[in-house]
A and B are shown apart, each in its own frame.
Chain A
Amino acid sequence: GAVVSQHPSWVICKSGTSVKIECRSLDFQATTMFWYRQFPKQSLMLMATSNEGSKATYEQGVEKDKFLINHASLTLSTLTVTSAHPEDSSFYICSARPGARGDTQYFGPGTRLTVL
């Protein structure tokens, strides 16, 4: 149980285009979903927290207009990288939390984004 999927697993796009990444909780309803970014050989950095039906809360330094998050249902959150640039190339990982605080987060397998 507690499986989180991400799609696509990798994507290559041209500079200036937008890319959408999906995060789905497959066998549970996720009250909260999180988006992280991981640069090579570095730790995960929390980008934003989203609750179903409300606006995402972005961490300091993360551009909300650049990284659009939509948490449309209790099993789906999407991250859209708008007008992508090479510096946006990274490993994006989502996680989902089933319920109230105290439940752990379950992580997706990640999406490798490469912007040419």
Chain B
Amino acid sequence: GEDVEQSLFLSVREGDSSVINCTYTDSSSTYLYWYKQEPGAGLQLLTYIFSNMDMKQDQRLTVLLNKKDKHLSLRIADTQTGDSAIYFCAEDNFNKFYFGSGTKLNVKP
């Protein structure tokens, strides 16, 4: 599969902003996604961005895409303890999803 990389851990305080980063290798990816996985659960789609966009905002979530550098980020504003989970980025490459390793977000009260 394609290489999609994420940092493994991020720890923030409640109320701060969290920024989770992701790099990918395939420039032909059409869509890039962010998913959230809570312990023992499946994946919840948070947001996605089309590859011809630079930014997408959805309430507390902001996705930034730098296609030149193949860099994707997810910013969570006003992070809450309920945001603690593993966040996966994924790229859509010819009808196949390739996932990053996941970033475990820990939110301290």
Contact = CB atoms under 8 A, between A and B. Distances in A.
> What is the predominant secondary structure among interface residues of chain B facing chain A?
strand
A93 B88 CA distance: 14
B43 A46 contact: no
Contacts of A93: 42-43
Contacts of B102: 42-43
Q: Tell me which of A43, A45, A106, A108 has the highest count of chain B C-beta atoms within 10 A of its own C-beta.
A: A43
A68 B30 CA distance: 30
Interface string A56-99: 00010000000000000000000000000000000001010100
Given A43-B101, A46-B96, A104 B45 contact: yes
B23 to A, nearest CB: 14
Contacts of B24: none
Nearest to B88: A43
Given A42-B101, A43-B102, A102-B31, A107 B95 contact: no
A110 to B, nearest CB: 4
A110 B41 contact: yes
Interface of B: 1, 30-31, 33, 35, 40-45, 48, 88, 92, 94-102
Given A93-B43, A97-B95, 14 more contacts: A43-B88, A43-B100, A44-B97, A44-B99, A45-B1, A45-B99, A46-B96, A101-B94, A107-B42, A107-B43, A107-B44, A108-B42, A110-B40, A110-B42
